[in-house]
Chain A
Amino acid sequence: MKNQTEKTSIVNGRSNWCLALLSGLVLASCNPAGSGKLATDTDNGGLKLPEGFGVLVVADSLGAARHLAVNAKGDIFVKRRNIEDGRGIVMLSDTDGDGRADKQTGFGDYNGTGIFLDSNYLYASSNTDIFRYALDENGHVIDPNAPDTVVTGLIDRRAHNSKPFTIDGAGNLYVNIGAYSNACQVQDRTKGSPAMQPCPILDSAGGIWQFRADGIRQTYGDGERYATGLRNVMGIDWNNQANTLFVTQHGRDNLHDLFPELYDTKASATLPAEALFRLDKGANAGWPYTYYDQEQKKIVVAPEYGGDGKKESTEDYLTPAVAFPGHMGPNDLLFYTGDMFPEKYKNGAFVAFHGSWNRAPEEQAGYMVAFIPFKDGAPSGEWEVFADGFAGVEKIAAPDDAKHRPCGLAQGPDGSLYISDDVTGKIYRVIYEGGA
């Protein structure tokens, strides 16, 4: 069932490419190709950005667009969470040079989130496997129907089953295997259910596993657990300056629901921290035994393991490199190595916050892309909101209120920053215009 089709479209409506054609005519008439500089949208796709930045909406209606990658020619590969028309990967191309996708192809008959490009291969993950597709000299997949299976048989028990991954410069592949649990209770998320000690989930999940990027059909025994104590990692990227891995973890949920006597709804909305970790081999980030409290600035014992919200851990667990407010859902991480953006962004980290749900009944938060400056491979300043306005509403009481939610990040060959949205499947391209 791995098949490939082509559609001529600008806005890639899955159900009506005629709308796409119509939009294409309108867009083309006010944005002539070949004018040299790309014309950004007058409304910046609804986003708010720092002075000098503009946004061009490359495509929309792709479905649940998760992570994405851009090749040297500017073609965009997008991983869909759910297959549509049998296709879990979409490739977008711009043939007339106006920056908007006018050609769409699809392949890959599996759900999933992770996607990664190097100069020779496109890699993509289902919720159990990682596949790779050889590329031709134009960066196009040679045979979409016959990928190699690089990794197979990773655990998928629905909860936290996405398998985001990255590859370092030495041919090592690092994949998240999320814990299929909130806090390692005997009965997940159930009030009064005791925690398991030690947590048995950590033998096959709740960490980052390392494999060879050029291996075939590797599974648990062929790789090794690179880091543990990570509940669920969605953002994962290699930092070339520090020459090490960084990840973003989604912190545990339901503190108030499970322990109302220790946490009120306000505390439960902001705790624990969402964390950016520097991960060296052998690191242990403490899940499920502890969590990081960004307000007390300490690693505290989880209430399931005897904590009271204040008791500090005596174990040697990893402290976050950056601690963000709770539940904002850091779904992707990108170290910016391009030359387009101003100097402050060089080698810094962009984090796509999918937006919270576990803050209810309090107001939700996140739904934006943040930036953290880095120097010599370590954070060098406070994090700030970089791109906001995805939700399209002032107040987000429930995730369903948000019209768009940022999910994936990628850097284009010219240094543009691409952001995916998994509500309608919009692809934003952020361009710096201030310098010219």
Chain B
Amino acid sequence: MKVVHNRTLFRGLLVALVAGACMACGGNQSKDSGTAATVTDTPETVEQEPPVLTAGMTAGKAIYEQNCVTCHQTNGKGVSGLNPPLAGTDYVTGDKNRLIGIVLNGSNVGLEVNGAVYSNAMPAHAFLSDEEVANVLSYIRNSFGNRADTVSAALVKEVRALL
């Protein structure tokens, strides 16, 4: 929604500056591929206070710094074209089972995240314990502007058993 808002403002400004000259402009609609298989909504978390990290999340932060930060970066925004963001994507704040699956199994199928595809492989992290996975996921679901409920070690155990 933010994009539309800015574009509207921008268009108004242009009209004011070069009256009439801008009838042909109108900001081409961004042409995301529109493939229906992906979920790209940005969670509405901006106005909220950043969550207070629980002990589990603090432990998860250490796991993040050891295993995740090189690719997903200190700001959780990833690397353009290479490593997807963790900030502002339903892959992180949405379905917990899917998220746990990606961490345990890795992913090398070129997921589309917020309209872009990333080329690097996500390694499997099955070597992390259920509690470590739960903690790091609770951490990333409540960092980088994200806010979502925590992940339990019991759920990680359940998902792991199905893999």
Contacts and interface: CB of A to CB of B under 8 A. Distances in A.
Contact of A187 (B31, B83, B123): B123
B5 to A, nearest CB: 15
B73 A158 contact: no
A357 interface: yes
A19 B14 contact: yes
Nearest to B119: A158
Contact of A85 (B28, B77, B119): B28
Contacts of A18: 14, 18, 21-22, 24-25
B80 A189 contact: no
Interface string B18-43: 10011011011011000000000000
B124 interface: yes
A360 B74 CA distance: 7
B82 interface: yes
Nearest to B85: A400
A357 B79 contact: yes
B121 interface: yes
Given A19-B14, A85-B31, A357-B83, A398 B66 contact: no
Contact of B70 (A81, A85, A161, A256): A256
Given A18-B14, A22-B18, A399 B80 contact: yes
B56 interface: no
Contacts of B17: 22
Interface in A68-125: 81, 84-85
B83 A190 contact: no
Nearest to B27: A15
Given A187-B124, A256-B70, A398-B75, A161 B31 contact: no
A260 B65 CA distance: 12
The A interface, classified by DSSP as helix, strand, loop or mixed, is loop
A400 B80 contact: yes
The contact size tier of chain B is 35 or more
A60 interface: no
Contacts of A358: 70-71
A358 B70 CA distance: 5
Nearest to B67: A257
B69 A188 contact: no
Given A158-B119, A188-B108, A190-B106, A400 B22 contact: no
A297 interface: no
A254 B83 CA distance: 13
A398 B77 contact: yes
Nearest to B128: A191
A17 interface: yes
B123 A398 contact: no
Contact of B123 (A191, A360, A423): A191
A189 B123 contact: yes
A360 B70 CA distance: 5
B120 interface: yes
B120 A189 contact: yes
Interface in A33-92: 64, 81, 84-85
A21 interface: yes
B21 A21 contact: yes
A317 B117 CA distance: 35
Contacts of B67: 191, 257
Contact of A360 (B14, B73, B110, B121): B73
A14 interface: yes
A22 B14 contact: yes
A16 B25 contact: yes
A15 B31 CA distance: 11
A274 interface: no
Contacts of B73: 357, 360, 397-400
A194 interface: no
A111 to B, nearest CB: 10
B161 to A, nearest CB: 21
A158 B66 CA distance: 25
B21 A14 contact: no
B69 A158 contact: no
Nearest to B116: A82
Interface string B122-138: 11110100000000000
Interface in A240-281: 253-254, 256-257, 260, 268
Contact of A16 (B10, B65, B78, B80): B10
A171 interface: no
A253 B74 contact: no
A386 to B, nearest CB: 24
A32 interface: no
B31 A158 contact: no
Given A17-B25, A357-B73, 5 more contacts: A16-B10, A187-B121, A253-B70, A268-B70, A401-B75
5 closest A-B pairs by beta carbon, nearest first, are A190-B123, A18-B25, A398-B73, A158-B119, A188-B121
5 contacts: A16-B14, A18-B22, A158-B117, A191-B67, A360-B73
